[in-house]
Amino acid sequence: MQRVELTEQLWRHLTSLRDIRADNLGALSSHGEDNALSLYSPIALRNRRFVMAQVGQSLDGRVATLSGDAQDISGCDGIAHLHRCRALVDAVIVGVGTVAADNPSLSVRAVSGKSPVRVVIDCNGRMPLDAKMLSDDGSTVLIIQGDDMAPRTRRHETILLPRSEDGIDPANILDALGERGLTSILVEGGARTISRFIDNGLVDRLHVSVAPIIIGSGPAGISLSPVDKLSQIHRPKVSVYNIGTDIVFDCDLRAAAARSEAGLTESQDILMADMA
């Protein structure tokens, strides 16, 4: 496990990459090997479209209680980590269910940095008109909505995209954001939104931030399409970081996909021993 100690000087270097659209570490190399670089530089570098997802959860994989309380799952360092991820990307995406349940600002407050464009996926036009982000004079808000419905609000730009029974294609969402110069994306919630992007093979990195608490019951942060065999599951390359109050599992999904395409992953059935 790698301990992350992020100096203010190093953080300023990382945030500068977002604004200058850098595709290499440049001056950062003078800082030598630093665990903070290995955790955050894949987000900061801008040499291609980059999509990450982030989940903050308990030891038993819960992101909220059964009643929906999710306010204090992540520790202070877990919250700072999430806000660093926001500060390093162009845009953060959430589903409208997250807006209705949590009324988030999706801004950068726990660390220094620029807040990303806020994107809400609202297929059916049910965005709460009293949502905090619609009137807080913060960063730009974009609403992704099905093209068969009138825009929910005209105060903020609504992007109308075709939809199917499964909703709006996540690839179409990324293309629409790319046309607006938004190429580095954080998919933050909820579970269905994150899972759809992962199921469609669109997520490069997944950060799972685990807090040392046990909730016992409640929703999970990821709920992917079911598979029949363990040979079909995701087996990402994982690095583990101690960030203080929380532990971050940095999962490289793109590397795992490349290994799978090259036929390097295990293909045989995995049998579990009968312990009865």
Q: Is residue 273 domain-resident? A: no
What is the CATH number for 151?
3.40.430.10
pLDDT score, position 186: 98
Q: Could you report the per-residue pLDDT of 46-101, keeping only the tens digit for each?
A: 778 999 999 999 999 999 999 888 888 999 999 999 999 999 999 999 999 999 99
Query: What is the SS3 assignment for the chain?
Result: CEECCCCHHHHHHHHHHHHHCCCCCHHHHHHCCCHHHHHHHHHHCCCCCEEEEEEEECCCCECCCCCCCCCCCCCHHHHHHHHHHHHHCCEEEEEHHHHHHHCCCCCCCCCCCCCCEEEEECCCCCCCCCCHHHCCCCCCEEEEEECCCCCCCCCCEEEEECEECCEECHHHHHHHHHHCCCCEEEEEECHHHHHHHHHCCCCCEEEEEECCCCCCCCCECCCCCCCCCHHHCCCCEEEEEECCCCEEEEEEHHHHHHHHHCCCCCCCCCCCCCCC
Average pLDDT over residues 215-234: 89
- Domain count for the chain: 1
| Domain range enclosing 118 | 47-214+232-245
Q: Is the pTM of this model over 0.85?
A: yes
Q: Could you report the per-residue pLDDT of 198-222, keeping only the tens digit for each?
A: 999 999 999 999 999 999 999 998 9
Q: Is residue 256 domain-resident? A: no
Q: Is residue 36 domain-resident? A: no
